[in-house]
Amino acid sequence: MSSRPVRSQSTVSANVKSRLPALVVIIGGLALTGALLRLVEAPLWTVLRAEQPALRLDSTGAAAGQGVTLGLLGGFRAIVADFTWLRLHVLWEQRDLPATDTLLRLVTAVDPRPLYFWVNGARIIAFDMTAWRIAAAGGYDSVPEARQERIGAEQARLAIRRLEEAMTFHPANAALWVERANIELNRLHDVAAAAASYRRAWEQPGGPDYAARLHAELLKRLGRKAEALAWLVQLHPQLPTGDEATEIVLGRIRDLEKDLQVPAARSYRPPPGGPPGAKPGGR
Amino acid sequence: MTRVPFSFTRARLIGQNTLLEASRQKLFSFLLLLALSLVAGAQGFRDFNFGAPELKFLADLGYGAMAFFGAALTVAATAQLFFSEIENRTALTLLAKPVWRAEFILGKYLGIAAVAAVFCVLLTGLLAAVLWAREGSLLTEFPEAFPHGRTLHFADLVAAGYVQWLKLAVLAAFTLLVASFSQTQLYTVVTGFFVLVICHLQYLAQDASARGDSVFARAVAGAIGLLFPNFQLFNLAENVGAGVAVPWDRVAHVSVYALGYVVAAGALAVYSFRKREI
Amino acid sequence: MSAGPSGTPAIELRGLVKDFAVGLRGVKLRAVDHLSLRVEPGQVYGLLGPNGSGKSTTIKIILGLLEPTAGECAVFGVPGGRVEARLAVGYLPESPYFYRHLTGRELVQFYARICGLSGARVPARVAEVIGWVGLTEAADRRIGTYSKGMLQRIGLAQALVHDPRLVILDEPTAGVDPVGAAAISALILNLKAQGKTVLITSHLLAQIEDICDRVAILDRGQLILEGAVRELVGVADRQALVVEPLSPVQLGELRVWLAARGRTLEAVETPRARLDRIFLDHVGRTAPAKREGGP
Ligand SMILES: Nc1ncnc2c1ncn2[C@@H]1O[C@H](COP(=O)(O)OP(=O)(O)OP(=O)(O)O)[C@@H](O)[C@H]1O
Ligand SMILES: [Mg+2]
């Protein structure tokens, strides 16, 4: 045990110490930590970011502003968006078109990830808002048919623009293409466009079979029967064996062959042992 | 001379006292009740056209409340529990005992981390109960929407709650670091929230430092990217409500990341508190 | 704890200087100015001085709460500022505040455990020291509800709970009623009887005079007077007699009697009872028990 005090006689002015050295140590320490932990961070961050293209987590160009908003909201993004959607629902019930429109934009700006914000938004724009505008103009009875059509087409185009925006966040998403096809078919009565959209829907990973069938159906309606037959013929082997839908497709093929008077020798023959089964993941 | 080694017992005692102090304060009970009632009340938002899984909404709400109120609670609790010692001069009495300054900082940290943990455990538990009940009723109402039975797993909910807590634990360590050299509680709270915001935007700084316009902008962005943790990394459990499983290897990965920052920020807090005049 | 080797002072200060930087420009304020002191083990040592003379600052340096600008400080030979130096020290800060969320008993228990006491001894020891300071009845109330004097008393209890060899009391009687102040005096004398060292600051000079062996007087951080109380206050060549009233005639006779012995009567006064004496006699509440069994 030492009884000699350690602190040596120093000049009095040496104290009243500035906090600068401590600050340097803290900043240096944090920088060192950051550099070391970057090794832990980087691999996980690369994976997480790649999995969330919908987040557009980068700071290039116009996305930078949104990146800041999203980053800021952090974990609260989902909850803020959900509450915005609740508020939107109230305004929707009140048929307040401008406010609903604003909130539709807001909700997807806050959280572009949930598909239902986009899909339901497009439906509201295409269907509900059309009805509201016609009602505001005097109702279905007094507004001329042509005008109703025009309003419907305007809203449908707006809705399709929303869906196109959604596709930048959710590329390769079948549901968005199905929605687009529905609007093109039912609102714009643009069968060719709808047929193309259904085909795109089917082409996305996990695209539903009925989209492929509807594509053929619409081709038929357009009078492009040969095209429809060719489509179904290449489709059938990709469908699961024994499925009801697969049988329906085969039935359609036979109908079209009859319509087009395809000779029996050249008629479609399902692959022996049945089709290979479930369609492959991506085409 | 009798040596007094660093003692985890003393740190634990200080931590326990800190937790007790928090639990006997109205502000914290208030925040906790607010968050709990929000989650419990989420049951009430049923009558609207969601068009998508309601469970996802409930989970978002629960974890959103955990993130939001948790961050507020953590920053406020850290500043309050630290400065109450300084301002009420209880630190004077405590540090006049054979107590290392490092034990004091560690004890305070343990107490605050425990406050955050209690908060996350209570909220996760309540959320799990709410989700389980709602899933059960949806299951009978719309069996076709659940072809494989229940989609939510308790383990995933717990993992998501744990990741939320990890983020709060890092936030607490940084706020404590600020408190260790700051002179006022208000400064600490404001800076704590500032740190929270920067940590959420850290990834933008990383990007900007890689391809910024000017050398200066790159340097600033690079420094921010280096000095602060990336809180976006803690968003790996965002889709539990949609029945998406939480990958355990990633949870482990982000735990290492959080632990690294807690140790570093804690050590620096000890360093800066070491010579502080009480 | 082993006692330091004989000759090791309980506290030793050598050339202690403390400067505070005040204001934004960091103007220096010298709170302690080249102070050198020795407090021997077993002494009750009084540190006196006007407000702002550096008493509390000196104490905080001894406890390692402040770092001296220059000079040396040692407690039982261990350099101040080391954790080991605080091992055998009990400290009551001036105008203390304690964790308001705890009860008095919880508080003393907390500090007992912090100081390394553990197990079943703790509750008994805690109850004992709370008894010494006369807080047994209020022990289970929240400290937030304590009066100023009660805070001082609970502060005293936490300072004594780990049976320290050196007790440092910064104005222990501030805000305490005369009964309590007298009890604290008795407690300090009791500590002395057990061989403890006590360093005390106070503005109650009468009390200091009664209990201290030595005092140091500081002014603006400088030591201006130091010595044993007996030497400093004793007026060795005078005596006072207190008798029943004498008539002028009798006084004259006394003068003659004194003159015959070569003495003169210098003053005749009517002594007045000290107010604290009257207070103590009338508020004869039992002063907090502290003696038997002692600290
Ligand atoms: N933290 C500080 N920062 C700046 N100045 C300080 C600080 N602490 C004390 N001082 C100054 O140091 C001087 C000595 O203060 P100290 O508290 O030691 O006096 P004291 O003798 O205990 O007075 P009192 O009898 O009023 O308790 C005072 O002028 C005070 O203003
Ligand atoms: Mg003082």
Instruction: Supply the pLDDT for residue C27.
Output: 79
Nearest residue of C to residue B22 by CA position? Answer: C101
Rounded to two decimals, what is the model's pTM?
Answer: 0.79
In the reported structure, the alpha carbon of residue C52 is separated from the centroid of ligand 2 by a whole-number distance in angstroms of 7
**What is the spatial distance between Cα C221 and Cα A86, in angstroms, rounded to a whole number?**
68
- For the Cβ of C118 lying below 6 angstroms from any atom of ligand 1, the answer is no
**What is the spatial distance between Cα B46 and Cα B54, in angstroms, rounded to a whole number?**
8
DSSP code at position A56: T
Chain C closest CA to B113's CA: distance in Å? 19
In the reported structure, the alpha carbon of residue C8 is separated from the centroid of ligand 2 by a whole-number distance in angstroms of 27
Instruction: Supply the pLDDT for residue A6.
Output: 38
Nearest residue of C to residue A5 by CA position? Answer: C79
DSSP letter string, chain B: -------HHHHHHHHHHHHHHHHT-HHHHHHHHHHHHHHHHGGGTTSS---S-HHHHHHHHHHHHHHHHHHHHHHHHHHHHHHHHHHTTHHHHHHTSS--HHHHHHHHHHHHHHHHHHHHHHHHHHHHHHHHHHHHHHHHH-GGG-TTS----HHHHHHHHHHHHHHHHHHHHHHHHHHHH-S-HHHHHHHHHHHHHHHHHHHHHHHHHHS-SSHHHHHHHHHHHHHS--GGGGGTTTTGGGTPPPPHHHHHHHHHHHHHHHHHHHHHHHHHHHT---
Q: Is a pLDDT exceeding 90 seen at residue C113? A: yes
Contacts with A33 from chain B: Cβ below 8 Å: 260-261, 264-265
Q: Compute CA distances C145 → C23, C99, C104, C151, whole Å.
A: 36, 11, 10, 10
Query: What's the number of CA atoms in the CB half-sphere (13 Å) around residue C253?
Result: 5
Instruction: Supply the pLDDT for residue B174.
Output: 96
Amino acid at C48: L
Q: Is a pLDDT exceeding 90 seen at residue A78? A: no
Strand order across the beta sheet in which C70-75 lies: C27-39, C11-22, C70-75, C78-79
Strands (E) across C84-171 are located at: 89-92, 166-170
- Record the tokens describing residue A189, joined without a space: 């009565």
Average pLDDT for residues C172-182, to the nearest whole number?
Answer: 85
Instruction: Supply the pLDDT for residue B272.
Output: 92
Query: Which residue of B232, B272, B275 is in closest CB contact with A26?
Result: B272
Instruction: Supply the pLDDT for residue A140.
Output: 87
Query: What's the number of CA atoms in the CB half-sphere (13 Å) around residue C217?
Result: 11
Low-confidence ranges of chain B (pLDDT < 70): 1, 43-53, 147
Strand order across the beta sheet in which C44-48 lies: C89-92, C166-170, C197-201, C44-48, C214-219, C222-228
pLDDT digits (tens, 9 = 90+) for B156-202: 999 999 999 999 999 999 999 999 999 899 999 999 999 998 898 88
Q: Is a pLDDT exceeding 50 seen at residue C226? A: yes
Pick the residue whose CA is nearest to atom 18 on ligand 1.
Answer: C54
Angle, nearest 10°, between helix axes A174-186 and A145-169? 170
Q: Is a pLDDT exceeding 50 seen at residue A278? A: no
Instruction: Supply the pLDDT for residue A34.
Output: 93
pLDDT digits (tens, 9 = 90+) for A193-236: 999 999 999 999 888 888 999 999 999 999 898 899 999 998 88
Q: Is a pLDDT exceeding 90 seen at residue A270? A: no
Instruction: Supply the pLDDT for residue B44.
Output: 66
Do you know the residue count of chain B? 278
Q: Compute CA distances C156 → B98, B157, B182, C128, C289, whole Å.
A: 17, 50, 31, 12, 14
A20 touches chain C (CB under 8 A): no
Residues 6+ apart with CB under 8 A from A8: none
Query: Is A169:A201 a contact under the CB 8 Å cutoff?
Result: no
Sign of dihedral through CA atoms C265, C271, C276, C281?
A: positive
CB-count burial class (<10 Å; 0-12, 13-18, 19+) for C236: exposed
**What is the spatial distance between Cα A103 and Cα A92, in angstroms, rounded to a whole number?**
10
Interface of B with A in 228-247 (CB under 8 A): 228-236, 238
Domain ranges of chain B: 8-273
pLDDT digits (tens, 9 = 90+) for A123-146: 999 999 999 999 998 888 888 999
Pairwise CB contact (< 8 Å): C116 & B96: no
Average pLDDT for residues A265-272, to the nearest whole number?
Answer: 80
pLDDT digits (tens, 9 = 90+) for C117-150: 888 889 999 999 999 988 999 999 999 899 888 8
Reported CATH class of domain C11-236+274-291: alpha beta
Strands C70-75 and C89-92: unpaired
Instruction: Supply the pLDDT for residue C167.
Output: 96
How does the average pLDDT of chain A come out, rounded?
81
Pick the residue whose CA is nearest to atom 5 on ligand 1.
Answer: C20
Q: Higher-confidence residue: C234 or C266?
A: C266
In the reported structure, the alpha carbon of residue A106 is separated from the centroid of ligand 2 by a whole-number distance in angstroms of 60
| Res. C284 pLDDT band, cuts 50 70 90 | low
Q: Compute CA distances C89 → B70, B94, C10, C75, C215, whole Å.
A: 40, 12, 10, 9, 20
Spatial CA neighbour of C63 closest among C36, C87, C33, C35: C87
Query: Per mean pLDDT, which range of A24-38, C124-138, C171-185 is the poorest?
Result: C171-185
Sign of dihedral through CA atoms C223, C228, C234, C236?
A: negative
User: What pairs with residue B216 in β-bridges?
Assistant: none
Average pLDDT for residues A102-119, to the nearest whole number?
Answer: 86
**What is the spatial distance between Cα A93 and Cα A100, in angstroms, rounded to a whole number?**
10
- For the Cβ of C174 lying below 6 angstroms from any atom of ligand 1, the answer is no
Q: What is the distance in angstroms between the CA of the first residue and the CA of the last residue of chain A?
A: 81
Q: Higher-confidence residue: A107 or B110?
A: B110
pLDDT digits (tens, 9 = 90+) for C12-63: 999 999 998 877 677 788 999 999 999 999 999 999 988 999 999 999 999 9
Q: What is the dihedral of CA B85, B89, B91, B92, to 10 degrees?
A: 180
Which three-class secondary structure state does DSSP give residue C239?
coil
- Record the tokens describing residue C236, joined without a space: 């060795």
State chain C's maximal CA–CA distance in angstroms: 74
Contacts with B94 from chain C: Cβ below 8 Å: 111, 114
Q: In this complex, which chains have at least 3 CB pairs below 8 Å with chain A? A: B, C
Site from A2, A7, A11, A17 to mutate, C interface, most C CB atoms within 10 angstroms = A7
| ipTM of the complex model | 0.88
Instruction: Supply the pLDDT for residue B49.
Output: 43
In the reported structure, the alpha carbon of residue C52 is separated from the centroid of ligand 1 by a whole-number distance in angstroms of 5
| Res. A64 pLDDT band, cuts 50 70 90 | low
**What is the spatial distance between Cα A159 and Cα A186, in angstroms, rounded to a whole number?**
13
Instruction: Give me the phi and psi of B81, to 5 degrees please.
Output: -70, -30
Q: Which of C33, C35, C53 to mutate to test the pocket of ligand 1 (most atoms within 8 A of CB)?
A: C53
- Quick one: chain A helix, strand, coil %, rounded to 5? 70, 0, 30
- For the Cβ of C286 lying below 6 angstroms from any atom of ligand 1, the answer is no
Q: Is a pLDDT exceeding 80 seen at residue C262? A: yes
